[in-house]
Structure 1
């Protein structure tokens, strides 16, 4: 009875809240004011529910206007309420004169010769879609009446990427726990496609894993590289370059038109996940692109398309039923209106959804995004992270079953294992929750799923038995729905219904959201009811019984529809650490702070403490709220050591494995000479030795392990790369955070020396500034000054113990000064360095050079400092005439001679009543 009432209310709501859709069909009626005169085969508008049409069995639904009005092809009984329609239902164009490209969607019987008058820009044979160029008037005249043409629409603007900054953190989504417990799960058996511009194939975290296909864009950009790094980064650069699936092969596909690749390209390559971290202009419709991606998923049942929800959460929809509603329905493009893709939004480290990230619902009220994942800069990063997690699930399924994992099962497990964040329960901001990679993998490994199929009106059942201490039961149904027709409203084709029946025959229905077009309705908590919009349905029961029957009914199904069910539950009164694991560092990247994370069904508080020796414990917080599942360690001590943490809950103690607390090692180049290279680094407390790594073909490879804080490499030609990193090691072999990988040729150090230069200090002298890469092997440093074309020693520093050496020459020459340094090594070799030249003038007022000079040659004038006074220079020829006059800017300036004739000139420098004179010869 309850289901009947809900169904009636839904029909009333569709008729009232979406009345503008109902009005649309009137424009398609061929004759509005007369009854249908033609009885027989044709194209008609029919007023009926979809299930009523399916029961007739002889009608093909060409377009759904709303739940009670459909355009169909076939023979409609005279008794049915129906009308003949014109061809306008096929057309959806903006009418703009600037539009010159159109998508034409056809039936499989369409003859391509009919497109001969037009320029075919691209063909999408998998979806019977063609992008053509031509005049709209000609297209309407030649193509619109064609019975095999299903839809014509103008092409939207080109796609744009949706974020540009990596904020890679695998811990909020528990990827770190997979890496620690299943290090062999690395994506090595899989291949992922990234649809956008080309990623940088030379990036050191992505080396030699690119699969060239010819589908790549000609443009390489940072955004694609960042997405590839999140998905598949090797971690060669640093911990923040380590992605989810470090060994997955990567291919790239141009996103020129935001359409899927061909079915053949996916199957031939073996691509089962394609990431789409981009958007197109917002549209409130099920467009050509959405239909194409749903066809792609339906034709390739192991292919999961992962989309970012968008970064336009502060924008307001300008069309459709959600027009003008703030904070909702701003997904970026009709590509996100697909049914069979997984749309991903964002959440920060504590589960809050950033306001700028796009939210659902879709144009017809469906739940999107289905899930969220960590990122504070944009949903692009979140989608990439989830794509990487999908790869790991697909690898695990392949190892267990020897075949490709169905994408509907991937989607069901990711959704079912997600942690509730944002508003409580299902919502249009965070969907079904924050992806939990660990719970997803455990569900898959434990085979916590069912598969089946149903036909119209039939039901398939599954038995589920739970332990007596089970809590938080969650069951999710997902099916890959056939593609709808362009502009269908709603988009669902096959409607399945999920329900759970306990031993006492009580029925629990899925959660449904109110998708009425108002902020207050869209913000309402979900209620239990029958869902006839989504191809994802979920039932949760906080305190379940031990025995259930899961029923899936085919409420409106054309043919047969296969489906997948994922299920999971928690055990009462349990606690489990998620971060840190024994492979983690706190903070995770060595910077400001990280969160301890745990999963628990306990309530109340606990005491969090840590210890370096398991004997002496330092309490961090004696009143931790267990239900929050996290606690931020803002300022971990700089101890560079392995520690344990523990949570004490009453008489129970829950300890982590030993993890490390450290900062990145600071490393540099001591010298880079022709015959040797020195790498050096700061000592790390508690480290017993250091491992030096060099970048190999795909990953960092160990060079050697030393106990010193430097390493001299006599021959760098044996290394395939100029990039190195160093990692400190603790007793027992656990490594601390390494130095970020660096190119030794780009560190500014040549053979021992960073820099050597002069600094003139007024009335004091000239400072000689020598910065060394290292003082290793040096016997002495000698500073010299040029005196009458020979150098004189002015200072000797024996056994220098600093890399920063500064010496003041207190008696420099008046005027021009040239200095050099001689570095003498213990092996008897010398390295001679020039500091260049400088002018020091405290006793003489100025110097002009060259003198003599050549006509046209510029003169340089050096003066001593006159502070805030501006000197005036005059040149006077041998007849006493003034031939040149200028202000001297600063202590050094240029005097032009291009207008001067050969001869003798006198110069005068005026400074507030003072006059300085001299003679100048121009030849």
Structure 2
């Protein structure tokens, strides 16, 4: 006996996981026969791979399931609300049918259409009748409760090359653009969203941190500090509730100027094309400039419980049927190591289509990843609008994003990372460089587009995208119009087809690498070619199956020509003396390189590191502790690239020196080689330059200003350029008065009087005096001059027994005096006791002041009977008089030292 490995073949893929033990006959050992077997296996393998993606995975043919959402019948059995949504051919006929069949439930219309209705009180019998009804075209789940995806607040815009866009194209900032955030409401009064909410009068009083974070990532102004600055920081924002999972009225969104809607929520794993999916495809097709961006979900470690991919953990787990729509974008999340997060939901869609199409940075949280892509998409739309005067189609935006994405996960396309990691700069350049083609093709026709590949191109990438009408939910696949893309070298006549994946419902098949082939499932096709020969090419678009009319399409293409430093870029600030991550792209993975830097004004390049593994695409650099402009240089075996001029500096910490009636003083620690600092105020929507100073403090005379802004920040000016701002401060809310930051006793009741004074500034301060109130006037007890520190311990050596009132007076060089708020302290000795109020009304609390921390409190009536006893802790003890009769009582206190103190109490 011998063990021979056989391949288990099916219609779509090959699984390598099954082994069989078979007898080996003697003649099998002939070399020629063994070679024949190997050749046959190879032919079958290649044939299977060629057809692996040509048809959708198997779908149950039973009519009950074909026109019903997967798992609906099972879920209705356990659901409290027996509710379904139905799509019908004719509403009037269906209502008559319901009446004829004695339907007793309610009827609702979830969206503005006469073909979809919500029915309640659905029994198993009624469900079967609905499934048999020829007027009903589809039975779907009712509206579900959406939940926000995980919120992580860890955005790093460098990963997706957003800072590169801001450095190279500073005017691309979301101006005259608007996005909608569909979930709970965001905080319209958040300082980073101030003044930019569309129709704020419609906002309720409630908002969520999640929605506010999503809105901030997309379009935060950065008023509170650098971390509050979003991608399209001047865009306007609308809010839309996700209580209804069907799409909003698209025309209403467009009338508000909204060209994009972000959806960072889910309803649990659902992998089918239902009424919501169809509705989003229909809305997008009818309103071609409106783009919907969905988070893929945070259920990447789960499996679908029903449907084609049942039980396959780690795949086909998008969190909502609406995310499987074909004319929208779904976005997964990348972790810092460049890998797709384990919790990031993955494809394929129910019919084998690629989902998600893109990923972005998010450490496993797809909410933020989707918001990042939404922000980038707004900039792509703005770039096109400024060049052409109108909004681009969402198909063009998708083509630019998908084609420019950096490969992530397994090579080329896959079901985890889709077509790759979003590259904001690449997408913007696609539009700016006019590297896209708009066309249309009819059934059976072919369109040719010439393409010239320049010399030195490392990689050619071409992506075809088209949006089409919504499919029938019961269809085996969502695709209706099938286009095919082929790349042709006109000199050699060699052709290349798009990358396709095996969608067969088996774990081994879904992990197979992409192969070139004919795509019969997706309305996105991509061809890439490494090291293409320079010369003339043609892009062929075939109208393979177009049932009626013409199908419009978009082609986007790019030529990768070599390495490029992506971060830092022009105007970006790196933290001096700290570890900063440097990023690049366009490197051959196995290549090594050398990284250097040069300070402004120097001709010497200093070594950072050599023999760097460039395939990692980043390097952590411990920057020199200097304040200067600088440049980076990356040297490889084939190229030397230099970065734009960036800034080495440190973020300042803005403090309030004093906040007096006549003036406000702000100060911060200075930086070497910096001679000017820029103060900013928050204007109606964004930071505005306020004043420039040469010192490390700013005196703002209140009587010379119309009004002080509520928030202020400061930035160093490094060689003529303002660097990163400090975190903004609301100086009126910090509790800092005129020089005196705080004046508090160590203990309010004590046998020693000690107080802690903290000053906010020493600027022009001459003296500090402790004063005590005597006979209605404050008299000085202790004076400190000169004042050379910010904190002092102040003491009264001769206080009076009982309550004492103190304050602090500060005096400046100009002779101005300022006072703290008075503080009352109670001085006690071992024999001191104070009881108040006395007399006390029955039922009121009696307060007892005594030196000891813990005492036993006893209360006796006039007959000497003990009526109340308790252990009391604290300098001021509390004793209830509830239930005591009117009269005179004896109060007796036993202290920790064993002493007894007595007094009389009158209860009224």
Q: Shorter-chain TM-score: what band?
A: 0.7 to 0.9
Deviation, structure 1 residue 379: 0.8
Of residues 57, 76, 84, the one that matches 1:95 is 76
Deviation, structure 1 residue 917: 4.1
1:219-240 deviations in whole A, cap 9, x for unaligned? 5322222111111122222111
Q: Structure 2 matches for 1:664-813, cutoff 5 A?
A: 664-715=651-702, 718-719=706-707, 721-730=709-718, 732-760=719-747, 765-786=752-773, 791-813=778-800
Determine the C-alpha separation between the residues in 1 that align with 2:112 and 2:133: 18
Deviation, structure 1 residue 643: 2.8
Aligned match of 1:569: 559
Determine the C-alpha separation between the residues in 1 that align with 2:837 and 2:332: 74
1:179-238 deviations in whole A, cap 9, x for unaligned? 111112222233222222222222222232222299878853222221111111222221
Given the superposition, is the C-alpha separation of residues 746 and 461 from structure 1 closer, same or farther in structure 2, using an over 3 Å criterion? same
Q: Does 1:632 align with 2:614?
A: no
Determine the C-alpha separation between the residues in 2 that align with 1:727 and 1:116: 70
> Is 741-750 or 338-347 further displaced after alignment?
741-750
Deviation, structure 1 residue 133: 4.7
Aligned match of 1:415: 402
Deviation, structure 1 residue 609: 3.5
Given the superposition, is the C-alpha separation of residues 314 and 143 from structure 1 closer, same or farther in structure 2, using an over 3 Å criterion? closer
Aligned match of 2:545: 556
Q: Does 1:291 align with 2:291?
A: no
Deviation, structure 1 residue 167: 2.4
Aligned match of 1:916: 900
8 Å Cα contact 1:871-1:887 kept in structure 2:
yes
- Tell me the secondary structure at the aligned position of residue 326 of structure 1: coil
> Is 699-708 or 329-338 further displaced after alignment?
699-708
Given the superposition, is the C-alpha separation of residues 263 and 759 from structure 1 closer, same or farther in structure 2, using an over 3 Å criterion? closer
Deviation, structure 1 residue 12: 8.4
Given the superposition, is the C-alpha separation of residues 764 and 854 from structure 1 closer, same or farther in structure 2, using an over 3 Å criterion? closer
Of residues 517, 526, 535, the one that matches 1:529 is 517
Determine the C-alpha separation between the residues in 2 that align with 1:216 and 1:147: 44
Aligned match of 1:52: none
1:498-525 deviations in whole A, cap 9, x for unaligned? 2222232222111111222222221121
> Is 578-587 or 714-723 further displaced after alignment?
714-723
TM-score (norm 2): 0.86
Segments of 5+ residues of structure 1 without an aligned counterpart are: 29-64, 66-86
8 Å Cα contact 1:120-1:132 kept in structure 2:
yes
Of residues 218, 243, 249, the one that matches 1:262 is 249
Of residues 376, 390, 393, the one that matches 2:363 is 376
Of residues 316, 325, 334, the one that matches 1:338 is 325
Given the superposition, is the C-alpha separation of residues 793 and 528 from structure 1 closer, same or farther in structure 2, using an over 3 Å criterion? same
Of residues 585, 590, 611, the one that matches 1:623 is 611
Deviation, structure 1 residue 625: 2.2
Given the superposition, is the C-alpha separation of residues 251 and 832 from structure 1 closer, same or farther in structure 2, using an over 3 Å criterion? closer
8 Å Cα contact 1:758-1:835 kept in structure 2:
no
Deviation, structure 1 residue 261: 1.9
- Tell me the secondary structure at the aligned position of residue 687 of structure 1: coil
8 Å Cα contact 2:749-2:826 kept in structure 1:
no
> Is 136-145 or 472-481 further displaced after alignment?
136-145
Q: Structure 2 matches for 1:259-658, cutoff 5 A?
A: 259-376=246-363, 378-502=365-489, 503-545=491-533, 546-559=535-548, 560-571=550-561, 574-587=562-575, 593-601=579-587, 603-611=591-599, 613-615=601-603, 617-633=605-621, 635-649=622-636, 654-658=641-645
1:25-83 deviations in whole A, cap 9, x for unaligned? 4x68xxxxxxxxxxxxxxxxxxxxxxxxxxxxxxxxxxxx6xxxxxxxxxxxxxxxxxx
Deviation, structure 1 residue 479: 1.1
Of residues 870, 873, 883, the one that matches 1:889 is 873
8 Å Cα contact 2:577-2:626 kept in structure 1:
no
Deviation, structure 1 residue 402: 2.6
Given the superposition, is the C-alpha separation of residues 129 and 608 from structure 1 closer, same or farther in structure 2, using an over 3 Å criterion? farther
- Tell me the secondary structure at the aligned position of residue 382 of structure 1: helix
Aligned match of 2:9: none
8 Å Cα contact 1:235-1:241 kept in structure 2:
yes
Given the superposition, is the C-alpha separation of residues 18 and 544 from structure 1 closer, same or farther in structure 2, using an over 3 Å criterion? closer
- Tell me the secondary structure at the aligned position of residue 873 of structure 2: coil
> Is 354-363 or 617-626 further displaced after alignment?
617-626
Q: Does 1:24 align with 2:76?
A: no
Given the superposition, is the C-alpha separation of residues 922 and 536 from structure 1 closer, same or farther in structure 2, using an over 3 Å criterion? same
Deviation, structure 1 residue 769: 1.0
8 Å Cα contact 1:91-1:152 kept in structure 2:
no
1:337-360 deviations in whole A, cap 9, x for unaligned? 111111111113442211111111
1:668-718 deviations in whole A, cap 9, x for unaligned? 222333333222222233221222221111111222111222223233872
Determine the C-alpha separation between the residues in 1 that align with 2:318 and 2:257: 29
Determine the C-alpha separation between the residues in 1 that align with 2:202 and 2:804: 63
Determine the C-alpha separation between the residues in 2 that align with 1:260 and 1:168: 27
8 Å Cα contact 1:217-1:253 kept in structure 2:
no
CA-based RMSD? 3.5
Deviation, structure 1 residue 541: 1.0
8 Å Cα contact 1:498-1:553 kept in structure 2:
yes
Determine the C-alpha separation between the residues in 1 that align with 2:359 and 2:427: 14
Of residues 869, 872, 885, the one that matches 2:856 is 872
Given the superposition, is the C-alpha separation of residues 567 and 888 from structure 1 closer, same or farther in structure 2, using an over 3 Å criterion? closer
Deviation, structure 1 residue 542: 0.5
Deviation, structure 1 residue 596: 0.9
Determine the C-alpha separation between the residues in 2 that align with 1:277 and 1:591: 37
Deviation, structure 1 residue 564: 1.4
Given the superposition, is the C-alpha separation of residues 908 and 320 from structure 1 closer, same or farther in structure 2, using an over 3 Å criterion? closer
Given the superposition, is the C-alpha separation of residues 256 and 6 from structure 1 closer, same or farther in structure 2, using an over 3 Å criterion? farther
TM-score (norm 1): 0.84
Q: Does 1:155 align with 2:142?
A: yes
Determine the C-alpha separation between the residues in 2 that align with 1:793 and 1:421: 73
Given the superposition, is the C-alpha separation of residues 119 and 910 from structure 1 closer, same or farther in structure 2, using an over 3 Å criterion? closer
> Is 638-647 or 751-760 further displaced after alignment?
638-647
Q: Structure 2 matches for 1:56-75, cutoff 5 A?
A: none
1:294-332 deviations in whole A, cap 9, x for unaligned? 111111222221111011112222111221112111110
1:268-300 deviations in whole A, cap 9, x for unaligned? 344332211111232221111111111111112
Aligned match of 2:890: 905
Given the superposition, is the C-alpha separation of residues 822 and 344 from structure 1 closer, same or farther in structure 2, using an over 3 Å criterion? same
- Tell me the secondary structure at the aligned position of residue 385 of structure 1: helix
1:516-554 deviations in whole A, cap 9, x for unaligned? 222222112111111111111111111212232222222
Determine the C-alpha separation between the residues in 1 that align with 2:812 and 2:474: 80
- Tell me the secondary structure at the aligned position of residue 180 of structure 1: helix
Aligned match of 1:37: none
Q: Does 1:205 align with 2:192?
A: yes
Deviation, structure 1 residue 486: 1.0
- Tell me the secondary structure at the aligned position of residue 429 of structure 1: coil
1:137-168 deviations in whole A, cap 9, x for unaligned? 89769976765542232314121111323323
Segments of 5+ residues of structure 2 without an aligned counterpart are: 1-11, 14-42, 100-104
> Is 775-784 or 504-513 further displaced after alignment?
775-784
- Tell me the secondary structure at the aligned position of residue 244 of structure 1: coil
- Tell me the secondary structure at the aligned position of residue 899 of structure 2: strand
